[in-house]
Amino acid sequence: MEIKSENASFGGVQGVYTHAATSTDCEMTFAVYLPPQASKGPVPCLWYLSGLTCTHENAMTKAGLQEHAARRGLALVFPDTSPRGDGVADDDAYDLGKGAGFYVNATEAPWAAHYRMYDYVLTELRALVQAEFPVLPDRHGITGHSMGGHGAITLALRNPGAYRSLSAFAPIANPTGSDWGRKQLTAYLGADESAWSGHDSTLLVGAGGWKGGMLIDQGASDQFLDLLKPEALSAALARSRTPSVFRMQPGYDHSYFFVQSFAGDHVDWHADRLK
């Protein structure tokens, strides 16, 4: 692991790091915020997965999470959204390829060689973070925005022992029924739709729910509502009687101004469950 930068932030340290990842077979960049409490011992850890076109940097600089994490004593991890490098497959469209990994393990050419973001986030980067930073191994929560919200919910529902808390900002809630999903799942996983269901929040909630409680915030003026399909997830949560708080926030769009506005609520949600 190589340190790219470390800066003081709200009494803690915001760092950016690179390492040679085996799951994605390329160099990966990620960011970690350590609150001031981490100087005295290991702290709980909140993962933030970013959305389409983003890197580790977008949420690190725009979401305003550090102040709240310092207040509650949480470490933050900001992974990248896809593999990177000259040898990594890409597409001219913004919603496929680099910046659009969708947190799946691709099985189709040319994506399968590098696009294994599911394994990278769940296993490889987690092991590295736990080895190199003072975080509690059994106190991890996960959240994310848009494509990252999709990733957070699907990773948590498929691996309930890995995460103790879950939330999302404007997640892509039903990708098997949306143009933000069908295109990418076909490319990464193939045309057989039976392989897609494990990466659809609405279908996963309907199949088994989530026992730990879930906080979802969605802007009511989000310009991408037809692609996100929040009504599908809301209905699945109700049908499965999953403990949840689903809030349609009037006047808010899909931007990081929306994420900033409710970042404190989400940090508190996780901190209360990661004590």
Please name which of 48, 240, 206, 216 lies closest in space to residue 140, comparing C-alpha atoms.
48
Q: What pLDDT does 158 receive?
A: 96
Please name which of 146, 152, 154 lies closest in space to residue 171, comparing C-alpha atoms.
146
Query: What is the DSSP code (8-state) at residue 148?
Result: H
Q: What is the CATH number of the domain that holds 182?
A: 3.40.50.1820
**Residues recorded for the chain:** 275
pTM value is 0.97
Catalytic site residues? 146, 222, 254
Q: What pLDDT does 194 receive?
A: 95
* 36, 132 contact by CB (below 8 A): no
* 182, 236 contact by CB (below 8 A): no
Please name which of 88, 251, 246 lies closest in space to residue 167, comparing C-alpha atoms.
246
Q: What is the mean pLDDT of each run of 10 residues along the chain (275 residues)?
A: 98 98 98 98 98 98 98 98 97 97 98 98 98 98 98 96 97 97 98 96 89 94 98 95 96 98 98 96
Residues 6+ apart with CB under 8 A from 141: 44, 45, 46, 47, 163, 164, 165, 166, 167, 270, 273, 274
Q: How far apart are the C-alpha atoms of 29 and 2, rounded to whole Å?
A: 9
The 10 Å CB-count burial string (b at 16+, else e) for 159-176 is: eeebbbbbbbbbbbbbbb
| Total domains present in the chain | 1
Q: Which domain holds residue 34?
A: 2-273
Angle formed by the axes of helices 201-208 and 147-158, to 10°? 30
Q: How far apart are the C-alpha atoms of 230 and 217, rounded to whole Å?
A: 10
- The pair of structure tokens assigned to 70 is 């310092």
- The pair of structure tokens assigned to 102 is 């969708």
* 49, 163 contact by CB (below 8 A): no
Q: What pLDDT does 210 receive?
A: 82
